[in-house]
Amino acid sequence: MKKLSILFVLVFFFLAGTTAFAQEEIKEKVKKEYKKEMKAHKAEISVADLPDVVQKTLKESFADYNVKKAYKVKNDKGETVYYTKVEKDGKWLKVGLDANGKVFKKKAIELKDETS
């Protein structure tokens, strides 16, 4: 009986582990599909074409940074959002802003040059 209970516990942990692994794999696939979908709705725009509220936020919150690139994106909710790549002293940030100028994403990125 003791061997049977040990076997049961081992099988349980094995199945739980494979289920967790499968869930992580599914999450990664969904994440990749989401990124692919976002890229399909992404268009590079001129920094001057950013809405005034977005430009104001960038000037106030990232005053020391130079805005190098700007993108207009339709998110999964159908809303227009903006991503910018800003640079200061060789350090780059990717900044996501909504149509009201609110920053919803700020991430350090590495670029070899400003054309990337």
Tell me, what's the pLDDT at 42? Answer: 85
- Report yes or no on whether pTM surpasses 0.85: no
Pick the more confident residue, 79 or 114. 79
CATH topology of domain 42-109: Nuclear Transport Factor 2; Chain: A, (3.10.450)
Our measurement of the distance from residue 18's CA atom to the centroid of its chain's CA atoms, rounded to an integer in Å, reads 28
Instruction: Please compute, for residue 31, the number of CA atoms within 13 A of its CA located in the half-sphere on the CB side.
Output: 6
Residue 64: band (very low, low, confident or very high) from pLDDT cuts 50, 70, 90: very high
Q: What does the domain layout of the chain look like in residue ranges? A: 1-40, 42-109
- Among the ranges given (32-36, 46-50, 85-89), the one the predictor scored with the smallest mean pLDDT: 32-36
pLDDT computed for residue 48 by the predictor: 95
